Amino acid sequence: MSDHFAACRAMMSDRTYLLSSLVPFRRDAGGRVWIGDRWHRDLMTHLAYLPNMLILAVEVDDLGDEHQFPVEPDPGQSIDFITTGPVMTSRRQVPRHAPGMIRAMRQGLAQADVVHSGVAGWPVPPGVFLNPMTLRRGLPLVINIEGAFWRVPEGTEASARRRAEAALTERFARWSCARARLAVYTHRSYAESLPVGPDGISAVTPASWIRQEDVVSEAELQQSWDEKSADLRLLLASRLAVQKGTDVVLEALKALEADGIAARLDIIGKGTMEAELAEFAAHARHVRVNMLREVAYATEFLPLLRGYHAVLVPTTNDEQPRIILDAFSQGVPVIASDTPGNREVAANGVNAVFVPRGDAAALARCISDPALTPARLRGLAGAARVQAESCTHEMMHQRRAGLLVRALDGRMPRRAKGSGQ
| DSSP codes of every residue in 326-366 | HHHHTT--EEEE--HHHHHH--BTTTEEEE-TT-HHHHHHH
User: Looking at this protein, which amino acid is placed at residue 122?
Assistant: W
pLDDT above 50: residue 16:
yes
In this prediction, residues 15-25 reach a mean pLDDT of: 94
∠ CA 357-358-363, rounded to 5°:
80
Q: Distance between CA 344 and CA 189 in Å, rounded?
A: 9
- The per-residue pLDDT for range 367-413, each reduced to its tens digit, is 999 999 999 999 999 999 999 999 999 999 999 999 999 999 988 88
Please tell me the predicted confidence (pLDDT) of residue 88: 87
DSSP-derived 3-state class of residue 224:
helix
Please tell me the predicted confidence (pLDDT) of residue 416: 52
Q: Distance between CA 328 and CA 221 in Å, rounded?
A: 10
Neighbours of 270 (CB within 10 A): 14
In angstroms, the Cα distances linking 99 to 84, 92, 102, 178, 256 are: 10, 14, 5, 27, 51
Please tell me the predicted confidence (pLDDT) of residue 22: 87
> DSSP 3-state helix, strand, coil percentages of the chain (rounded to 5)?
40, 15, 40
In this prediction, residues 47-65 reach a mean pLDDT of: 93
In this prediction, residues 344-350 reach a mean pLDDT of: 96
In this prediction, residues 335-350 reach a mean pLDDT of: 96
pLDDT above 80: residue 417:
no
In this prediction, residues 240-259 reach a mean pLDDT of: 96
- The per-residue pLDDT for range 106-145, each reduced to its tens digit, is 999 999 999 999 999 888 899 999 999 999 999 999 999 9
Please tell me the predicted confidence (pLDDT) of residue 421: 41
Q: Which residues contact 322 (CB under 8 A, 6 or more apart)?
A: 207, 208, 209
In this prediction, residues 325-332 reach a mean pLDDT of: 98
Please tell me the predicted confidence (pLDDT) of residue 48: 95
Q: Distance between CA 78 and CA 72 in Å, rounded?
A: 9
pLDDT above 70: residue 13:
yes
Domains and their CATH numbers in the chain: 4-208+393-408 (3.40.50.2000), 212-389 (3.40.50.2000)
Task: Transcribe 126-192 into DSSP letters.
Answer: THHHHHHHHHHTT--EEEEES--TTSPPTT----HHHHHHHHHHHHHHHHHHHT-SEEEESSHHHHH
In this prediction, residues 344-373 reach a mean pLDDT of: 97
Please tell me the predicted confidence (pLDDT) of residue 134: 97
- The per-residue pLDDT for range 209-247, each reduced to its tens digit, is 999 999 999 999 999 999 999 999 999 999 999 989 999
Q: Distance between CA 230 and CA 240 in Å, rounded?
A: 28
Please tell me the predicted confidence (pLDDT) of residue 153: 81
- In terms of pLDDT, which residue wins out, 144 or 414? 144
Please tell me the predicted confidence (pLDDT) of residue 419: 47
With bands split at pLDDT 50, 70 and 90, how would you rate the model's confidence at 420? Answer: very low
Average pLDDT, the chain: 94
Please tell me the predicted confidence (pLDDT) of residue 64: 81
With bands split at pLDDT 50, 70 and 90, how would you rate the model's confidence at 414? Answer: confident
In this prediction, residues 319-336 reach a mean pLDDT of: 96
In angstroms, the Cα distances linking 225 to 228, 367, 388 are: 5, 19, 17
